[in-house]
């Protein structure tokens, strides 16, 4: 019985570690990249040119990355 309890505790720790890794990757990479891609294509649709669109995407990525790191990361 104690072996089962120990195994459940280890499984819970592994699940917690996996969850935290997925949430960190999603919030620090996924969210800024998605918003930067959205800004890039929105700027292209508005006919701002490729270079201004690329610049807007990069600026958006950097800004959102720091906002997420500052306010949403533990």
Q: What is the pLDDT along the chain (74 residues), one digit of tens a residue?
A: 567 777 777 777 888 888 888 888 888 888 999 999 999 999 999 999 999 999 999 999 999 999 988 887 65
Q: What is the pLDDT of residue 73?
A: 63
Inter-axis angle of helices 50-71 and 31-45, to 10 degrees?
150
Domain carrying residue 9 = 2-71
| 12-32: pLDDT as tens digits | 788 888 888 888 888 888 899
**Cα angle for residues 62, 57, 54 (degrees, 5° grid):** 125
Residue 17 in tokens: 């570690």
Q: What is the pLDDT of residue 58?
A: 96
Q: Let me know: does 22 contact 47? Beta carbons within 8 Å.
A: no
- Residues with Cβ within 8 Å of 31's Cβ and at least 6 positions away in sequence, in order, are 64, 68
Residue 27 in tokens: 């919030």
* Domains: count for the chain: 1
């Amino acid at each position: 019985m104690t072996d089962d309890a120990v195994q459940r505790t280890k499984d819970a720790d592994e699940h917690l570690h996996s969850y935290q890794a997925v949430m960190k990757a999603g919030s620090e990479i996924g969210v800024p990249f998605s918003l930067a891609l959205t800004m890039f294509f929105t700027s292209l649709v508005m006919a701002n040119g490729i270079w201004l669109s690329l610049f807007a995407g990069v600026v958006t990525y950097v800004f959102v990355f720091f906002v997420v790191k500052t306010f949403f990361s533990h």
